[in-house]
Amino acid sequence: MSRRPSAVVAPLLAVSAVVALLLALCIVTAGPSTAAAPADGFVFTTSEVPDDELPSAAGSGTRLTYATRDQNGRPAMSSGVYWVPKGTPPAGGWPVVSWAHGTVGLADECAPTLHRLGDGVEAPVRAALDAGFAVTATDYAGLGSAGETEYLGGRAAAHSVIDMIRAARSVDASLGSRWVSTGHSQGGHAALHAGRLAAEFAPELPVAGIVAIAPVSSLENLFGLFGPRVPGLGALNVLSAPFLFTLAGLDHANPELRVADSLTSDGKRFLDRARARCNGDLVDALRSVPPGSLVASSFTAEQDFRDALREYAEVPVSGYPVKVTLAHGLLDPVLPYPLSRSLRSAMREAGTDVDLKTYARADHSGVVDESLPDVLAAIRESFGR
């Protein structure tokens, strides 16, 4: 049975909360205010996913918009979707698998939940539902909802992931409190941050495991490849896209950095384009653009930038309350395999319980399917199944 507010009260609560959130958002630039932001995970709107848009293993699904926080802990809004399996939930409710998606872009229209999903959702989502787990999937704050999204902002992503579970459980009593944090690429980075932050940010939601597929890591080192002397890289020119997305997010979280000052006029134009387009559009536009033509001065030469980027996006190597499973393909041209190998080594040295699964024939996208048996096994192990 769902714990839903009455048909009359719920819309009034939602409208009041949206007004409070918008007022709270204004605090960021307008100074002190007495407006109180809604509680983390407060649900503004819900809409049932039509049967013909459900993954085949799902019994039902619901889209939500909900309250969360940004990178700096300020009020934010996010959207997302959750699905529950067919059948009767076990005692204690459905175990929850949180799925954090990879890069789609920054424009609202890019948000996954705005589009027909069905069996086009990622393989781990389908497999988790088929195995009897509920699945929550955030769009991330500001992507498809009010505000701006802070791409690769670790705390922002963690808040969105965790508050999506809070939101889903507040409207559906069939979801349990234990969960596993999973994701791919940008989402792998989010899964790591969410799993680590959970005990502090949401002690009522005990995380059972963390599974990160080809996660973004060592971003400070990667930014060294995005500099003024970098020539045309052929097919790899498109890798400027995630750097531009990161700069847009970092600029929102740390406007005092004035990141645009380090870009050329073309770079500034593409930064604006990154804020307004989806990943595919930006990638297409960058195919013939040398990375060095976008950058006027080296970002990593500035200590303030390095410090801010590290604080914004760095993957911690310690402090994880549960086992971490990494999965990465040897043929990954986007995030080369040695990044995860180095991350595993640093985590182990710091005392983290971590495992790295390697896939000899998998690239950045293919590793999602290639790793599926190991990912599902890690999820089952986390729940003691």
CA 48 – CA 60 distance, rounded (Å): 8
Residue 309 pLDDT greater than 80, yes or no: yes
Which residues lie below 8 Å from residue 101, measured CB to CB, with a gap of 6+? Answer: 112, 122, 137, 139, 183, 184, 186, 187
Rounded to an integer, the average pLDDT of 251-279 is 97
* Residue 228 counted as domain residue: yes
CA 230 – CA 224 distance, rounded (Å): 9
CA 317 – CA 105 distance, rounded (Å): 27
Residue 341 pLDDT greater than 70, yes or no: yes
Q: Which residue, among 285, 203, 272, has the nearest Cα to 238 in the 3D structure?
A: 285
Which residues lie below 8 Å from residue 75, measured CB to CB, with a gap of 6+? Answer: 21, 24, 25, 27, 37, 38, 67, 69
Q: Are 330 and 363 found together in one domain?
A: yes
- Residue 276, domain extent: 219-312
Residue 329 pLDDT greater than 60, yes or no: yes
Q: Are 13 and 119 found together in one domain?
A: yes
* Residue 4 counted as domain residue: no
Q: What is the pLDDT of residue 360?
A: 98
- pLDDT (tens digit, 9 = 90+) per residue, 46-61? 999 999 999 999 999 9
Domain boundary, last residue among 265, 297, 312: 312
Predicted TM-score (pTM) of the model is: 0.91
Over the chain, what is the mean pLDDT? 92
Domain boundary, last residue among 252, 283, 312: 312
Domain boundary, last residue among 294, 312, 330: 312
The SS3 assignment for 126 reads: helix
Rounded to an integer, the average pLDDT of 96-121 is 93
CA 252 – CA 63 distance, rounded (Å): 26
Rounded to an integer, the average pLDDT of 19-45 is 64
